[in-house]
Amino acid sequence: MLDLIKLRLRHGKQAIPNIHTAEVLKTFRGFPIVDESKCENNCEKCKSICPTEAIEKNPLRIDLGKCIFCGECEKVCSGGAIKFTNNYRIGSTNREALIISSGKTFEQFEVEAIKAKKEIHKMFGRSLKLRQVSAGGCNGCELELNASTNVNFDMGRFGIDFVASPRHADGIVITGPISSNMAPALKDAYQSVSDPKIVIAVGTCSISGGMFSSSNKINRNFFDEIPIDLFVSGCPPHPLTFIHALLDFLGK
């Protein structure tokens, strides 16, 4: 009993008190600042080193739906044209907004990225239940989604929860590039969620195929038919990225 009290005292309060002002470590690679004027000799080193072809030149831009935030481009660039900041708020309802062009500030990105809709707020603002489907995910995104419900991040306080059955869910969260072997099950799960429902793509693999986009063992036809309502970038996205994207999406 005394040990238990000792443990509770040591444990203290773990939840992040105000999630809106929460910051992550400086080392974290989040929203990038792109400045083409710092490009030296149009060298294209960043473009050629990028493992997921997330960088385009002329004009220089980086696609956060393809980027795995490895930071290799930042390292090879002698001029400093790409700099990752620790700003983790990189969710978007708009796929195009994830392409970060030269000179774009975070404030400009934020305006375009997530547009909260009245009907979404009205329908899911007070309670949102989600069914997660891992379709070829490496377990990185899955671990971070689990973490978003743990004692530190405690997403449940906003009325957002993961549920076991798609029948209880208001939408599905997809992780992974969608392996061909999971494509039928993903479709089944999606169809089992009753309307109206939302689709959230979490992680680079889910948004664009990421590291696996050139594999012939993946099948992304699902997204040809089903539009994505919310894109959450990252490899894997930080729990705070996921929570903030949802809060902004719900207009909370």
Partner 1 sequence: MNWAETKNLQSVSLKEIPNMEFAKLREQIVEMIMKGCRVIQFFGEKINSGVILYVVLADDEQSKLFIASSNFNEGDIFDSITPEFKSFNYFEREFYEQFGIKPQGHPWLKPVRNGIAGVSDSEVQYEFFEMMGEEVHEVGVGPIHAGIIEPGYFRFLCHGEQIHHLEIELGFQHRGVEELFIRNRNNPVYLLKLSESIAGDSVIGHAGNFVRAIESLSETNISRRAMVIRTIALELERIGNHLGDLSALAGDVAYLTGNSAFAALRTKAINTSMSICGSRFGRGMVAIGGVNYDISLELKEKILETINKIEEDVEVAAEVLFSSASVLARFEKTGIISKDIAKEIGMVGPAARASGISIDVRTDHPFGGFSLFPVHKITLKSGDVFARAYIRYIEITQSIRIIKEQLGTLNEGELKKNTSELKPNQLVVSLAEGWRGEIVHTAITDENGLLRKYKIKDPSFNNWLAVALSVKNNGISDFPLCNKSFNLSYCGFDL
- Binding partner 1 (rule: CB under 8 A), the pick from 22, 99, 147, 199 is 147
Q: What is the DSSP letter of 61?
A: E
Q: Which residues contact 35 (CB under 8 A, 6 or more apart)?
A: 80, 81, 82, 83, 102, 103
Residue placing its CB nearer to partner 1 in the complex, 146 or 194: 146
From residue 124 to residue 143, the character string flagging contacts with partner 1 as x (rule: CB under 8 A) and all else as - is --------xxxxxxxxxxxx
Q: Cα(140)–Cα(191) distance, rounded to whole angstroms?
A: 26
**Residue by residue, what is the 3-state secondary structure of 112-167?**
HHCCCCHHHHHHHCCCEEEEEEECCCCCHHHHHHHHCCCCCCCHHHHCEEECCCHH
Q: Which residues contact 21 (CB under 8 A, 6 or more apart)?
A: none
65 lies in the binding site for partner 1 (CB under 8 A): no
From residue 19 to residue 58, the character string flagging contacts with partner 1 as x (rule: CB under 8 A) and all else as - is -----xx-xxx-------------------x-xx------
- Binding partner 1 (rule: CB under 8 A), the pick from 111, 127, 217, 221 is 217
User: Interface with partner 1 by CB under 8 A: which residues?
Assistant: 3-4, 6-8, 10-11, 14, 24-25, 27-29, 49, 51-52, 68-72, 75, 132-147, 150-152, 162, 164, 176-177, 179-185, 188-189, 210-212, 214-218, 235-236, 238
